[in-house]
Amino acid sequence: MTLVYPVQSLAAHPPRLSPAYKSTVKRSPSKPLIPMRHTLSELTGPVYGHETVRANDHDLTVHGKGEPIGERIIVHGHVLDEDGRGVPNTLVELWQANACGRYVHVVDQHPAPLDPNFTGAGRAQTDAQGYYRFITIKPGAYPWGNHHNAWRPAHIHFSVFGHSFVSRLVTQMYFPGDPLFPFDPIFNSVTDEKARNRMISSFDLENTKPDWALCYRFNIVLRGRNATPMENS
């Protein structure tokens, strides 16, 4: 069965059951997934106009009355497919903790301060070549209840659509050199080291803005249509 989007691409993803991340134990399927051909329902996906993304949605530092606390950073990159083709005009959504490692979410009770000037949500649309850019605050690490002394490495959540419903991706961007990497079961749920490293942004001195903000580059690679002629049978 040749799929329009090669199924081999899925091998990079973590197994749904990754017991070191305890919440997967009761939330992962116990029965095998059923393979199916891609039909029009899978090969199409939502399309958005500029009305979805407002002028300052990409700049998380200007959503409050004043500047948020923390280290201002630029996060930018290329959304592309497996063959290196840019994915233009696609929606990129982002959410994250503040500089202290605290989320605005009502369930987050980590005893670190909220920042009245920082919500931590943003969105952008890639340009005609597939590039996006955000301005935000470097998020802090935070503790969680998975095991004794568990801490999440600093990360930014990303949600991306791509060309079809099967290219949909939700992932997390990490920062280079984080000492928490060896201890984080979510990061390490991706068993292939090369694949895992694709979730780590790189420090980008060239695009760091002097006297203003460090820059990190995070390219996001989505599933691509099979380069060979469509033979969906």
Q: Which amino acids are annotated catalytic?
A: 103, 142, 152, 155, 157
Q: Does 119 bind other proteins (CB under 8 A)?
A: yes
| Residue 61: other Cβ atoms inside 10 A | 20
Per CB under 8 A, contacts with other proteins among 73-102 are 80, 82-86, 91, 93-95, 97
- Other residues' Cβ atoms within 10 Å of the Cβ of residue 33: 8
Q: Which amino acid, 15?
A: P
Asked whether position 69 contacts other proteins by CB under 8 A, the answer is no
User: Min. distance of Cβ 96 from other proteins in angstroms?
Assistant: 8
Among 30, 109, 149, 228, binds other proteins (CB under 8 A): 30
One residue of 74, 100, 137, 186 binding other proteins per CB under 8 A: 186
Comparing CA positions, the residue from 221, 219, 220, 209 lying closest to residue 61 is 209
Residue type, 98: N
Nearer to other proteins, 30 or 211 (CB): 30
Residue 18 binding other proteins, by CB under 8 A: yes
Instruction: Pick between residue 74 and residue 87 the one whose CB is nearest to other proteins.
Output: 87
Q: Judged by CB under 8 A, does residue 56 bind other proteins?
A: no
Q: Are 220 and 77 in contact (CB under 8 A)?
A: yes
The interface mask with other proteins, positions 146-165, x = CB under 8 A, is -----------x-x---xxx
Member of 20, 52, 67, 203 binding other proteins (CB under 8 A): 52
CB 114 within 8 A of CB 98: yes
Q: Tell me which stretch binds other proteins (CB under 8 A): 68-76, 133-141, 209-217, 219-227.
A: 219-227
- Comparing CB distances to other proteins, the nearer of 95 and 132 is 95
For residue 14, give the nearest of 184, 178, 202, 201 by alpha carbon. 184
Which member of 40, 55, 128, 205 binds other proteins (CB under 8 A)? 40
Is 199 near other proteins (CB under 8 A)?
yes
Binding to other proteins by residue 178, rule CB under 8 A?
no
Could you give the CA distance from residue 158 to residue 90 in angstroms, rounded to a whole number?
13
Closer by beta carbon to other proteins, 169 or else 214? 169
* 124 binds other proteins per the rule CB under 8 A: no
Coil, strand or helix: which one is 74?
strand
CB burial string 41-59: b at 16+ within 10 A, e below: ebbeeeeeeeeebeeebbe
Residues 6+ apart with CB under 8 A from 102: 108, 110, 112, 113, 114, 115, 140, 142
Q: Give the amino acid at 152.
A: R
